[in-house]
Chain A
Amino acid sequence: NAGVTQTPKFRVLKTGQSMTLLCAQDMNHEYMYWYRQDPGMGLRLIHYSVGEGTTAKGEVPDGYNVSRLKKQNFLLGLESAAPSQTSVYFCASSYGGRTYNEQFFGPGTRLTVL
């Protein structure tokens, strides 16, 4: 099993450009999450999904959109990138129920917005 994979690993954007980050998991997990991590900060939840076709806002959702068209994939979109969105983005997935806090994380995407 590959676990949780993220594409791309690195990306540099100019202000105003758009992009989509792809997260894929092969563990048949119900829940998927997108976090961002800035230097010296913990992880902050952007959006999450509790099942195919569902999404919900997390702690810092502004400037991002997500889609969960297939159970194994969770896409994070930036419609108009801003320098404040320079960060490392982590995707995670988990089973539901009482084990939902046991999240499996991907390797991260390092995004720089100039």
Chain B
Amino acid sequence: LAKTTQPISMDSYEGQEVNITCSHNNIATNDYITWYQQFPSQGPRFIIQGYKTKVTNEVASLFIPADRKSSTLSLPRVSLSDTAVYYCLVGAPPPGSQGNLIFGKGTKLSVKP
């Protein structure tokens, strides 16, 4: 099972770039890496997904080194509204064996003015 490890919490200030790293040492060949954002009392929201190298969308970038044993979510110029918990998810389609879909415990990002 491709379990993930993330920092429990991070602090930042408005306007800074934030990088959150996730370790997944036993990632499988078919696994994709996905990041979610969750605000209190809401369901998680998909941010970005990648397999290798770099992926960028309108809200974030995802960097994946060649060995794929870790990944880094990069949030450019954060604002107070980016204060949330960020989850790293590793898994492969289709959902196969029990526990194939595993969310990490998440990183609580606090953005200060």
Contacts and interface: CB of A to CB of B under 8 A. Distances in A.
Given A43-B87, A101-B34, A106 B98 contact: no
Given A42-B87, A106-B43, A97 B101 contact: no
Given A41-B105, A43-B103, A50 B46 contact: no
Residue from A42, A107, A108 whose CB has the most chain B CB atoms within 10 Å:
A42
A48 to B, nearest CB: 5
Contact of B99 (A58, A103, A108): A58
A41 B94 CA distance: 25
A108 B104 CA distance: 19
A76 interface: no
Interface of chain B: mostly helix, strand, loop or mixed: loop
Contact of B32 (A31, A98, A104, A108): A98
Contact of A48 (B42, B101, B103): B101
Interface string A47-66: 01010000011110100000
Interface in B57-113: 87, 89, 91, 93-95, 98-99, 101-106
Contacts of A102: 34, 46, 49
B45 interface: yes
Sort chain B's interface into a size bin.
Answer: 20 to 34
Interface residues of A, number: 31
A55 B49 CA distance: 25
Contacts of A96: 93-94
18 contacts: A4-B43, A31-B94, A35-B103, A42-B104, A44-B103, A45-B99, A56-B98, A57-B98, A58-B98, A100-B94, A101-B34, A101-B91, A105-B44, A105-B45, A106-B43, A107-B42, A107-B43, A108-B41
